[in-house]
Amino acid sequence: MRAWLGLGSNMAPRKHLPEALRDLGGLFGELSVSPVYESEAVGFTGDNFLNLVVGIRTRLTPRELVVRLKQVEERHGRYRSDEKYASRTLDIDLLTYGDQVIDDGPIQLPRDEILHHAFVLLPLSEVAGGEVHPQTGRTYDQLWRQFDKQGQSLWRADEGLGLS
pLDDT of residue 133: 98
Cβ atoms 157, 141 nearer than 8 A: no
Segment 123-160, tens digit of pLDDT: 999 999 999 999 999 999 999 999 998 878 899 998 76
148 Cβ contact partners less than 8 Å away, ≥ 6 residues apart: none
Segment 58-104, tens digit of pLDDT: 999 999 999 999 999 999 886 655 566 667 889 999 999 999 999 99
pTM for the model: 0.93
15 Cβ contact partners less than 8 Å away, ≥ 6 residues apart: none
- The full set of domains in the chain, from first to last, is 2-156 (3.30.70.560)
- Residue 86 half-sphere exposure toward CB, CA atoms < 13 A: 9
Partner residues linked to 8 by β-bridges:
51, 91
